[in-house]
Amino acid sequence: MESIQSLQAKLESGSASAVALAQASLEKIESTKKLNAYISVLNERALEKAAESDKRRAEGKTLGALDGIPVAVKDNMCLVGTRTTAASKILDNFVAPYTATAVEKLEAAGAVIVGKTNMDEFAMGSSSESSFYGPVINPLDETRVPGGSSGGSAVAVASGTVACALGSDTGGSIRQPAACTGVVGLKPTYGRVSRYGLLAYASSLDQIGPFGATVADCATVLNAICGIDPHDNTTSTRPVEDFGAKLNQGIKGKVIGVPKEYFGEGLDAECKATIEGMLKKMEAEGATLKEVSLPNIGFAVSSYYIIATAEASSNLSRYDGVRYGYRSKEAKKLFDLYAKSRSEGFGKEVQRRIMLGSYVLSAGFYDAYYVQAQKVRRLITDDFNKAFESCDVIASPTMPGLPLKCGMNESDPMAVYLSDIYTVSLNLSGLPGVSVPCGMAGGLPIGLQWIGKPFQEADLLAVAAATEQLNK
């Protein structure tokens, strides 16, 4: 599908109606069904909302840049009256009783939600293979995963079913699938977007953000969904700016921090060369490259997997087979009901995470694992603060290599955890990050991750837009 901007121009000139755009989107979803990007398609609802948009436009009451634009939402965000599953059997029959704030804001801006997208179960994973509804297929190479956990949202944009989509990012789940499918994915600063109505994975790390075909589209969506929310006390009171205001600023005069730890061992040679090639082009445009150091970054993955699983084990305790969701038919006694509903309802990866999390929080190991991980989290945040004293933005690969081959989550889960090496540190420190395509290798896209200062998304997106220009 075209960019928001070009669709908007068609709506304004009258050469397309919102209903026609919704119909085209629904048809494209049908014709690309084998990619398995969607868990639910909201045919009727979408056409109704699109008709409302057309009516508003006819009355001269449009709601702004997203009015009438088809969008998709990851299936871990509530939308009232529709199924919200987090790709888990345990929520297969769950119908949301209210709408997540970010989703509500998207609709308040006139966007037309055409469907809920497939993902790793409860957003745990980097491959979008652990869904109860089957894996998401990468349209660029079917033998490789589309990245995860928001793989459905990334593929929804990459395959042209929608102009933009929402994902959630706890340790890279927006940025990685964006890199694997050649689109733009933005994780805002922690607190920028409300998490109310997002089915929690790890509350101190989770953040909702946009996917788009262009950087400008991501800015447009962030403008719509951000801001303070009385339902989420971690949303920031900072004033909200226009995140697209600086997109034409270019890269001249910017100091780009290049962490030496990020470009050494473990990074695929072709990815490295492609990213360094882009950085050279930026230097030629007047940016300065400055080596910086993140000395504690080597501990990021291990501390992330301790904190994320600890929080997950607590957050997922609410799925008990009693209040909502799947209930085992086998159970005779109360304890059995909990144990059987959870054993039958949760998939293997989710169970592994709950066990890991319960272990690191248990009385004998709490100090050795959880407390240590929290200390490392502080050290990593300090490393970034120090690095940002001498640069405006930090460059990093999004992934250590090309998208992973299908099936690795089964055969080598550790290798999959390690592929999060460049993304998790931003969640640990709350920083914003965006993955932008910066070149190709073997017909597959390579993502460049830009890391920004807290709440400086407008500056971050300006650098991302410059990358996009230089990649043309």
- Across the beta sheet with 444-451, the strand order is 38-41, 112-117, 70-74, 164-169, 207-212, 184-187, 433-441, 444-451, 393-397, 255-259, 288-292
Other CB atoms within a 10 A radius of the CB of residue 229 amount to: 20
Provide the token pair at 254: 């910017």
Closest CB to ligand GLN among residues 124, 258: 124
Nearer to ligand GLN by Cβ, of 41 and 186: the residue is 186
Burial pattern 188-207, b for ≥16 Cβ within 10 A else e, equals bbbbbbbbbbbbbbbebbbb
Considering the candidates 88, 127, 173, 341, report the single residue annotated as catalytic: 173
Nearer to ligand GLN, 91 or 123 (CB): 123
Catalytic choice (17, 28, 40, 74) = 74
451 in Cβ contact with 387 (< 8 Å):
no
Question: Which member of 131, 149, 153, 313 is catalytic?
Answer: 149
Interface positions with ligand GLN (CB under 6 A):
123-126, 149, 169-173, 201, 308, 420
Nearer to ligand GLN, 383 or 420 (CB): 420
Amino acid identity of residue 423, one-letter, is T
Q: How far, in Å, are 200, 230, 309, 372, 399 from residue 194 at the CA level?
A: 12, 9, 22, 28, 27
153 is catalytic: no
The answer to whether 294 and 264 have CB atoms below 8 angstroms apart is no
Torsion region of 394: left, alpha or beta (phi above 0 gives left; psi -120 to 50 gives alpha): beta
Nearer to ligand GLN, 248 or 317 (CB): 317
**130 tagged catalytic:** no
Mark whether 55 is an active-site residue. no
> Least CB distance from residue 173 to ligand GLN, whole Å?
3
Torsion of CA 284, 174, 139, 416, to 10 degrees: 100
Q: What is the dihedral angle through the alpha carbons of 275, 281, 287, 293, rounded to the nearest 10 degrees?
A: 20
Buried b (16+ CB within 10 A) or exposed e, 103-135: bbbbbebbbbbbbbbbbbbbbbbbbbbbbbbeb
290 residue type, one letter: K
Quick one: 1 or 312, whose CB is closer to ligand GLN?
A: 312
Q: How far is the CB of 100 from ligand GLN (least distance, A)?
A: 16
Residues with catalytic function: 74, 149, 173
